[in-house]
Amino acid sequence: MNQQPFLRTFTAPAVLCAIAFLAAMAAVLQFSLRAYVPGSLEPGGFTLANFADLLKPLYSRVFLDTVWICALTAVSTLLVGYPLAYAMVRTKSAILKSILLVIVVTPLFLGEVVRTYSWIIVLGNNGFINSVLRDLGIIQQPIQFMFTTFGVVVALVHVTMPVMVVMLAAALSHIDPDYERAAESLGAGPVRTFLTVTLPLSMPGVVAGVTTAFAWTFSAFATPQLIGGGRVNMISNLVYQLGFASFNFPFAASLCVAGLALTFVVLSALRLAARPLEKIGPH
């Protein structure tokens, strides 16, 4: 039928949402181009000063730190998540699969604050790790995990795991086990089979997982805020501080805009770099 009933009724709400969202993004863009008036919530006239300020070492440092943390997290999550995804997909028992899936997916729905808080308890000077090590007599002084990049990355890896494992599992589950059986029948041992057959075929999933992990980590706020405690700052934390401590919304907005540009650049670079890798996988 060539008619399109409901088209207007069904599209209108979506259009309204899109307008609201675009208006919010436009507000950020607009503010990033306005001057900051100290002591007031109203912005001043149009200027590019905010973006010029971004080039100062203080702020460009935060950009680099953010990229570094995101990259570190993405790669670590891949290394830790891959075996789990593999186990989840290759188990024969359906119950085990369900259990693994629940364990992996549940953290995803707990929210940043609960997860980050639990890591505070694990990593703190009086936290789990330090208490256990002290009780066992291995250390005298607590090891400093809080307020370090290491602590932040560990917590971030934990936060990003569900997403990575789910994407890897999706890719792995679509690889026909017959490929591995064929390799074995031709004499390849398990390690060789994995390296030459399974891993290459899972490349699209790996690329998707790493890219998503990177984008997700970039958006992290509670984890670096609570565990970083002001000493480890990502762009998100800086935006919050500028907005709520100094009320310098214009500058915060420019940080957001620069952050978006940075994500776009890094993700595009990742995509380009990954293209030869993706060709190895099945199309």
| Kind plus residue range of the DSSP H or E element containing 171 | helix 149-173
Asked if residue 203 binds other proteins (CB under 8 A), the reply is: no
Asked if residue 110 binds other proteins (CB under 8 A), the reply is: yes
Quick one: which of 47, 118, 148, 149 contacts other proteins (CB under 8 A)? Answer: 118
Quick one: which of 48, 52, 55, 105 contacts other proteins (CB under 8 A)? Answer: 105
Cβ proximity to other proteins: between 58 and 128 the closer is: 128
Asked if residue 173 binds other proteins (CB under 8 A), the reply is: yes
The least CB distance from residue 175 to other proteins, in Å, is 8
Site for other proteins in 124-163 (CB under 8 A): 124, 126-128, 131-132, 135, 158, 161
Asked if residue 201 binds other proteins (CB under 8 A), the reply is: no
Site for other proteins in 8-67 (CB under 8 A): 9-11, 13-18, 20-25, 27-28, 30-31, 41
Quick one: which of 59, 119, 145, 251 contacts other proteins (CB under 8 A)? Answer: 119
CB atoms within 10 A of CB 211: 17
What is the rounded distance in angstroms from the CA atom of residue 114 to the CA atom of residue 189?
43
Quick one: which of 39, 57, 95, 109 contacts other proteins (CB under 8 A)? Answer: 109
Query: Which residue do the tokens 């030459």 mark?
Result: 196
Of 59, 83, 108, give the one whose Cα is nearest residue 242. 59
Of 277, 168, 207, 213, give the one whose Cα is nearest residue 69. 213
Of 95, 78, 282, give the one whose Cα is nearest residue 176. 282
Is the Cβ–Cβ distance between 220 and 80 less than 8 Å? no
Cβ proximity to other proteins: between 25 and 58 the closer is: 25
Site for other proteins in 225-254 (CB under 8 A): 226, 235-236, 239-240, 243, 249, 252-253
Is the Cβ–Cβ distance between 78 and 72 less than 8 Å? no
- Which conformational region is residue 37 in: left (phi greater than 0), alpha (psi within -120 to 50 degrees), or beta? beta
